[in-house]
Amino acid sequence: MTQRLITHLRHLDLAVPDLDTAVDFYTNVWGLTAVVRDEDVVYLSAAGSPEYYILRLRKADKRIDLVAFGAATPDDVDALAHQLSSAGVQLITEPGVLKTPGGGYGFRFFDGDGRTLEVSADVALRYHRKIQEREAIPIRISHVVVNSPNPEATRKWYEDHLQFAVSDILHSEEMGDMMYFMRCNELHHSFAIARGPHASLHHVSFEMRGLEEWMRGTGRVLRSGARLVWGPGRHNAGDNTFSYFLDPMGNTVEYTTALRSIDEDSWHPSIMDIKDIDTQDQWGTANPMNELVARESFNDVDLGLYSAPPV
C-alpha cells in the first residue's frame, strides 16, 4: 500500500446565502470565534485547536466549498499532487503558497463525486488554549460526513487515491452499505460517506472537552431554539456521543465527544446492522432513528460539484 500522505482534517468551507445569520449562529450559539473577515468570507476558529480556522463561511448560494486536510511537509504535498495527477485525478491548482489566512503550501483537486478538496502543509499555528472544565465550546473539528448516491465508488476513490481506510460499516439488509466510517490517522473516523439520493453535506461534527461540556453545549443550543434532529445519545461505531442540530441554512451540525482512537495495525472493521437498536444509540436516550430523521441530513443538492470556489 502507498504510504498515506494525509495526516488529519483541517477545516470545512461552506457557502451560505445569509452570511450574517450563519456567523451569528456559529459564534453566539455554537461557540466558535470569528478570526478573520474578508469582504464576504468569514473564518472561524475553535479556542482549543491550533488550526488557524476550522470552518469557513462564504456568502453565496448554498454548497460545500471545500474539505481541507493536512499533510506533514511540503514534500508530502508535492508527492500527493504527483500521485493524483499521474492517476488521472483532476487538479484545480498546482502546489503552491496558499493565500488564505494562515498561509501554508498546498493545492486543490476534485474527488470522485466532484467535491473540491485541499491538502496543505506549513499552515501557521494559531494561539490555542486548554478548554476548561464545564466550558461548553468546541475544541476542534472532529469529522465531516458527505452524502453520495454511489458510496461504494466514493469509498474506493478515497481508498485508492488518498489511502483512507474503512474503520466500520453501517449496513442495511434491504439497501446495502449505508455508511463508511473512514480514517486518515488513529481516530476512528475523520471522514465518512453516507448513502444519499444526491451528493451533499450530511453533517459536520465538532469535538467537545468531555461529557459534561458536551451536555452543557447541547443544552445551550437547545435553548437557542435551534432544532434538535437526533440525540443526545452514543453511537456504536466510533463509540462517540452525538447531538445533531440544524443550523440556520439547513446544514446538520453535531456536538460529539470521546471519539475512539484505534490501533490501525490491529483494527478490523465491523459490519453493523443499521436496524440493531444499539448500533445507532448505545444508551437508548436519543429519539429513534427512522426515515424522517435520516432524511433531514440528505440536505440540498450540492451546487459545487466540479466547480471550484473562487476563494
Q: How confident is the model at residue 2 (pLDDT cuts 50, 70, 90)?
A: low
Provide the pLDDT for residue 3.
84
Model confidence at 123: pLDDT above 90? yes
Q: What CATH topology corresponds to 6-121?
A: 2,3-Dihydroxybiphenyl 1,2-Dioxygenase; domain 1 (3.10.180)
Asked if residues 35 and 43 have their Cβ atoms less than 8 Å apart, the reply is: yes
Model confidence at 272: pLDDT above 70? yes
Domain boundaries, the chain: 6-121, 140-296
Model confidence at 1: pLDDT above 90? no
Tell me the average pLDDT across 99-112.
97
Provide the pLDDT for residue 218.
98
Burial class of 186 by CB neighbour count within 10 A (0 to 12, 13 to 18, 19+): exposed
Model confidence at 104: pLDDT above 90? yes
Report whether CATH 3.10.180.10 matches the domain 140-296: yes
**140-296 shares the fold of 6-121:** yes
Provide the pLDDT for residue 187.
98
Helix (H) or strand (E) segment spanning residue 86:
helix 74-86
pLDDT digit string, tens, across residues 124-171: 999 999 999 999 999 999 999 999 999 999 999 999 999 999 999 999
The Cα-based distances of 250 to 91, 147, 157, 201, 299 in angstroms read 30, 15, 28, 10, 7
Q: What percent of the chain has pLDDT above 70?
A: 99
Asked if residues 52 and 124 have their Cβ atoms less than 8 Å apart, the reply is: yes
Q: E strands of the chain, at which residues?
A: 6-16, 33-38, 41-45, 55-59, 63-71, 96-97, 105-110, 116-121, 140-148, 165-172, 176-183, 191-195, 200-207, 228-234, 241-246, 252-256, 270-273
> To the nearest whole number, what is the mean pLDDT of the chain?
97
Model confidence at 178: pLDDT above 70? yes
DSSP 3-state of 242? strand
pLDDT digit string, tens, across residues 34-88: 999 988 999 999 999 999 999 999 999 999 999 999 999 999 999 999 999 999 9
DSSP 3-state of 105? strand
pLDDT digit string, tens, across residues 196-222: 999 999 999 999 999 999 999 999 999
